């Protein structure tokens, strides 16, 4: 790592840490909690869980290496929220530094002045690292896989850009193809990068053959070889995603109605709007599902416009394949293709949903962090061209404006965290560190007084896994209480405790504090 790259990373780390240092860690949420519980179970359960992670695809994600690594990391870190948060912050800082370096390279291609280039790159990095939804990626450890996917997406588009800038350096071509396929081992969204890279490489072949440029002629076979290798590996991996799905296949009713088509086209438009607004400090709000149905004409218009733009960019670059035109083609083609493939994956996932339910389900994809942040990433190439063009035409205004935008994004994210409970619900602001320490304290106090431990509902911590209770996290509880093998934990149902047991537990103060933190105390009206 060069001294300049190290300085960029350390600066990014300092800013990211300053903004997110107080964010809660939700290590018991959904898959993160499940991995913690299973990884602290007996040896036979751990072994069976690891085999499942290797043998099966989960909701279209066949990423055995990543899942297995996260499973073992969960056993290593356990319930130490500070380490979980530190890990997320470090990886996000790496992503932010990567976006900044990407922005500087793009502005260099477009001849932006040094001061405007730095401000432009900082605005791009801030738009990724400090958009409101990024709070979810810091607090929820399992979202490390999404952050790694973003990093691979940056590597793919940067390598493609460097290849067209230096056609003789064929290594960038293989880095792009390898990173695109490698992303399939991190997330099912790897299909987005494979699809986008394939379209960009196909466009490069078209430009090379139509223009007859001597720069690309020696490498057309290399481009074809990389394209075939990536698509072949991607096809095999896609087959594993489909054929190894965990559990019995669920029946999916056919959905080819005109109403469904309207919803899908309306979603295509609204999905683009959600991606564009994610580049600004904007309110986090869901889309009213039924409104998607009447947006279908806008969806048709957008689909036609993107198709025309992709063809026009390739034709323009083939007429005069200079560095700037090729860069425009790569960045715009990558963004257009990645956006379309991502939207198509959503449509395919919901193809069996009845038309009357489609609006609300599609609307969820226009605001959920795990969807909007990857969507934001797909548009980063086109947005980089836009801000670089502004920086070249108005360097002074860009230097001031983009610096102000970066600062605004940082302040908005810090303010968002102060009010996360209002935006995302009370569970978003609960520190799992504090809650888990109360769980342990209550368990110790109950055991010290020979009282059975109430089976406390933990849905406020598990969130998506709403049926989680203290009994279901018993392996983790036993581990952190340091109980001997075979030592019993006596529990009573939560309903029994709430019906007649609260008075009996007056000498267990930690239990009441836990109830208050999880929102389990009865309201005064009741």
The string of pLDDT tens digits covering residues 118-170 is 999 999 999 999 988 899 999 999 999 999 999 999 999 999 999 988 887 78
**Comparison of pLDDT for 14 and 425, the residue scoring more:** 14
Decide if pLDDT at 522 tops 80.
no
pLDDT of 449-498, one tens digit each? 999 999 999 999 999 898 899 999 999 999 999 998 878 899 999 999 98
pLDDT level of residue 422 (50, 70, 90 thresholds): low
Is residue 4's pLDDT more than 80?
yes
Q: Can you give the residue ranges of every domain in the chain?
A: 3-27+79-424, 430-518
Characterize 5-39 residue by residue with b for buried, 16 or more Cβ atoms within 10 angstroms of its Cβ, and e for exposed.
eeebbebbbebbeebbeebbbbbbbbbbbbbbbbb
According to the model, what pLDDT value does residue 17 have?
96
Query: pTM score, two decimals?
Result: 0.93
Q: Is the pLDDT of residue 280 over 80?
A: no
Nearest alpha-carbon partner for 466 in 29, 85, 76, 97? 29
H or E stretch at 320: none
Q: Which residues pair with 8 in a beta bridge?
A: none
Calpha distance 151→452 (Å, rounded): 48
Q: Average pLDDT over the chain, rounded to whole?
A: 90
User: What CA–CA distances, in Å, run from 383 to 233, 276, 304, 334?
Assistant: 30, 9, 20, 11
Task: Using the predicted structure, report yes or no on whether residue 382 has a pLDDT greater than 80.
Answer: yes
User: Rounded mean pLDDT of 112-116?
Assistant: 91
């Amino acid at each position: 790592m060069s001294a300049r790259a190290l300085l960029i990373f350390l600066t990014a780390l300092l800013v990211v840490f300053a903004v997110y240092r107080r964010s809660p860690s939700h290590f018991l949420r959904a898959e993160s909690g499940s991995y913690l519980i299973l990884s602290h179970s007996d040896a036979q359960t751990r072994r069976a869980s690891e085999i499942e992670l290797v043998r099966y695809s989960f909701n279209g994600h066949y990423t055995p290496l990543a899942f297995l690594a996260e499973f073992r990391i969960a056993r290593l870190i356990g319930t130490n929220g500070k380490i979980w948060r530190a890990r997320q912050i470090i990886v996000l800082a790496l992503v932010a530094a990567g976006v900044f370096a990407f922005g500087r390279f793009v502005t260099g291609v477009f001849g932006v002045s040094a001061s405007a280039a730095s401000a432009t790159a900082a605005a791009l990095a801030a738009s990724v690292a400090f958009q409101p939804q990024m709070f979810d990626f810091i607090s929820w450890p399992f979202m490390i896989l999404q952050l790694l996917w973003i990093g691979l997406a940056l590597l793919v588009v940067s390598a493609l850009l460097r290849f067209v800038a230096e056609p003789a350096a064929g290594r960038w071509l293989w880095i792009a193809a390898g990173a695109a396929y490698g992303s399939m081992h991190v997330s099912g969204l790897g299909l987005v990068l494979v699809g986008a890279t394939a379209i960009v490489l196909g466009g490069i072949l078209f430009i090379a053959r139509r223009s007859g440029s001597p720069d690309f002629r020696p490498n057309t076979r290399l481009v074809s070889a990389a394209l075939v290798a990536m698509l072949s590996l991607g096809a095999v991996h896609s087959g594993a995603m489909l054929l190894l799905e965990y559990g019995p296949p669920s029946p999916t009713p056919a959905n080819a109605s005109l109403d469904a088509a309207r919803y899908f086209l309306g979603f295509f438009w609204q999905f683009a709007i959600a991606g564009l607004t994610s580049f600004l400090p904007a309110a986090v709000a869901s889309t009213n599902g039924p409104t998607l149905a009447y947006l279908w004409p806008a969806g048709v218009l957008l689909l036609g416009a993107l198709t025309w733009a992709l063809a026009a960019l390739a034709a323009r670059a083939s007429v005069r394949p200079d560095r700037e035109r090729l860069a425009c083609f790569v960045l715009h083609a990558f963004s257009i293709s990645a956006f379309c493939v991502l939207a198509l994956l959503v449509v395919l996932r919901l193809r069996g949903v009845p038309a009357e339910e489609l609006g609300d389900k599609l609307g969820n994809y226009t605001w959920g962090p795990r969807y909007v942040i990857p969507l934001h990433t797909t548009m980063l190439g086109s947005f980089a061209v836009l801000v670089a063009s502004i920086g070249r035409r108005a360097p002074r205004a860009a230097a001031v404006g983009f610096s102000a935008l970066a600062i605004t994004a940082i302040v908005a994210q810090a303010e968002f965290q102060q009010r996360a409970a209002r935006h995302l619900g009370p569970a978003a602001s609960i520190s799992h560190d504090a809650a888990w320490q109360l769980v342990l304290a209550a368990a110790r106090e109950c055991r010290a007084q020979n009282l059975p431990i109430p089976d406390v509902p933990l849905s406020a911590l598990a969130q998506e896994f709403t049926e989680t209770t203290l009994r279901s996290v018993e392996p983790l509880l036993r581990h952190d209480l340091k109980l001997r093998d075979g030592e019993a934990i006596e529990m009573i149902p939560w309903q029994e405790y709430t019906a007649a047991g609260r008075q009996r537990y007056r000498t267990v103060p930690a239990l009441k504090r836990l109830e208050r933190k999880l929102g389990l105390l009865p309201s005064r009206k009741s």
